[in-house]
Amino acid sequence: MPHHKVGLGASVTPVRVQCLTARRESSDAAGSGDRGILSCTISTLNLTLLTSHDYVDLSLRRFIRPRFPTSKSNVHPIHYDPLGYTQSPFPEKCLGFFYYHRDPHAAPLEGSLRFRITPSKAPSSFGDGKDLLSPSGFPWQLILPQLASLNQYTRIHDQLLEERLITPDQVSRCREIFVEKRPIVPALTIFRLAQEFPVSLSANLKLTVVGPDALYRLEYPIFSKKNCIPWGGSAVVRFEPSISPEYTGRRIVHLRIVKLLTPVPSVVDGNPRRFVVKPEEGELVAHFRDGEPHVWAYNIDDTGKVAAALRTLWDNQQLS
């Protein structure tokens, strides 16, 4: 399958959860307030089958090694840092349940392991809880392409297969299109137009776009013009189909600033209005042309890899 650069839950017998704190490797490695490593057995990743014995306290743990009922071996350590580059501990008051999340409108290869922080150990409190967030402010998660294609998560995807939360076809597709084994950043890996993701307003847009049979490494200078990036700051954005009468009958995509995460200072000498319209919360990204602002618009039926990546997002949105 090409790689471009640019189920229902089954019944599971619950088992009593066993949690052990592993020996600290060293006082320096543990860090101030660090509670060490957690090893525990949980019975299910199906949120409809959770029991109070699946309740886990991750507060200030450096990482966790979960175990499942049908396996004697631990899962590879799971870190709070999604790439495992640091040993930053999980946050304080991080108590709840691991579970597999799949959005009702999910694309074919979309889904993730998440952690739901709940007010009590009763599974009935799940709806009153909230998902653990990563430092980026997006849900902490291990997405299906990671779980399916990376060897350290083999035991997790085996458990998901056993519970019929994912399918063998999903696993094989992920392995084929992620054969390159480059780092996967969940917050910057998207499947559908409606998905929000974080951006730096002072850098090129960089994303991994995942389709049913291919992926695209998308890099695009949407926040620059004439090799000039006039604004700093960061934001949450999303692609969306155009509803402008100007584009009736054509498949045109815009980029909307959903939320500004930081102030947006000018980072160029002179008048930044010669280049890109200052990003504003709730507005579409726009460039200046002949002194007038024009909303950025991309025809996804054009040729090239950018159009192909955006078509994938559009088509996945229609599939969902």
8 Å CB contact between 43 and 17 = yes
Cβ burial 159-168 (10 Å sphere, 16+ → b, else e): bbbbbebbee
Q: What are phi and psi of 210, to 5 degrees?
A: -115, 125
Sequence-distant (≥ 6) Cβ neighbours of residue 42 within 8 angstroms: 17, 53, 54, 56, 66, 67, 68, 98
Tell how far CA 280 is from the center of its chain.
24
One DSSP character per residue, 288-306 reads EETTEEEE--EETTSSSHH
- pLDDT confidence of residue 4: 52
Torsion of the alpha carbons at 160, 164, 167 and 171, rounded to the nearest 10: 10
The closest alpha carbon to 214, from 312, 93, 136, belongs to 312
- pLDDT confidence of residue 20: 36
Q: Please report, in tens digits, the pLDDT of each residue of the chain (320 residues total).
A: 555 544 333 333 333 333 333 333 333 333 345 577 788 889 999 999 999 999 999 999 988 988 898 876 667 889 898 665 667 899 999 999 999 999 999 999 999 999 999 999 999 999 999 999 998 889 999 999 999 999 889 999 999 999 999 999 999 999 999 987 688 899 999 999 989 999 999 999 999 999 999 999 999 999 887 678 889 999 999 999 999 999 999 999 999 999 999 999 988 776 656 688 999 999 999 998 888 899 999 999 999 999 999 999 999 987 65
8 Å CB contact between 239 and 313 = yes
223 is written with which tokens? 């926040």
Cα 137 to Cα 153: distance, rounded to the nearest angstrom: 24
133 is written with which tokens? 């967030």
- pLDDT confidence of residue 23: 36
Helix (H) or strand (E) holding 56: strand 56-57
Cα 118 to Cα 95: distance, rounded to the nearest angstrom: 7
One DSSP character per residue, 172-211 reads HHHHHHTTT-----GGGEE-STT--EEEETTS-EEEEEE-
Instruction: Return the bridge partners of 95, or none.
Output: 57
8 Å CB contact between 78 and 142 = yes
Alpha helical stretches, state H, the chain: 27-30, 144-149, 154-162, 168-177, 305-319
8 Å CB contact between 104 and 142 = no
